[in-house]
């Protein structure tokens, strides 16, 4: 068994190493027609509009009843997580999405995911450890809103 492990290790030693940094995706303009890019941008911006409305609506609810407050928090987390997934699926289905919009949407969903995970572990929204995620969220949100005008 040890000889097999040594043989595998020697084989791995001589195998070419993978690139340290994955290749960046090609610019969408070089692969897709203007019509494909326009349609993909429209789909991505539509997904952004739908999801931000859903998350905003869920987060805007409030109640003095502690049980309802908990239900609203759970609903907001579900809306955020579902929205994150919806945007990711939309980007996967629309590879011609302009790279700046796609990158900002990925940053938005990443921030949403990080915030929801923190909330699930009982970290409050004003916890300083969440500041980078909220900053990323704000930055991505502003960039997407501008690009999708």
List pLDDT tens digits, range 104-149. 999 999 999 999 999 888 888 788 999 999 999 999 999 999 999 9
The model's pTM: 0.76
**Is residue 35 within 8 Å of 94, Cβ to Cβ?**
no
Give the start-to-end residue ranges of the domains of the chain: 33-147
Q: What is the pLDDT of residues 68-118, one digit of tens each?
A: 999 999 999 999 999 999 999 999 999 999 999 999 999 999 999 999 999
The answer to whether 117 and 84 have CB atoms below 8 angstroms apart is no
Q: What is the pLDDT of residues 30-50, one digit of tens each?
A: 789 999 999 999 999 999 999
Helix (H) or strand (E) holding 38: helix 34-60
Q: What does the longest C-alpha to C-alpha distance in the chain come to?
A: 68
């Amino acid at each position: 068994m040890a000889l097999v492990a040594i043989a595998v290790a020697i084989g791995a030693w001589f195998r070419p190493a993978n690139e340290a940094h994955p290749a960046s995706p090609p610019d969408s303009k070089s692969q897709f027609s203007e019509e494909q890019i326009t349609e993909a941008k429209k789909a991505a911006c539509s997904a952004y509009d739908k999801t931000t409305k859903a998350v905003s609506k869920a987060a805007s609810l409030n109640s003095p009843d502690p049980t309802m407050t908990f239900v609203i928090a759970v609903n907001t987390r579900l809306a955020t997580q579902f929205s994150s997934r919806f945007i990711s699926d939309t980007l996967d289905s629309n590879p011609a999405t302009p790279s700046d919009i796609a990158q900002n949407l990925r940053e938005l969903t990443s921030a949403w995911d990080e915030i929801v995970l923190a909330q699930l572990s009982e970290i409050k929204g004003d916890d300083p450890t969440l500041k980078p995620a909220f900053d990323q969220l704000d930055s991505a949100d502003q960039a997407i809103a501008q690009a999708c005008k």
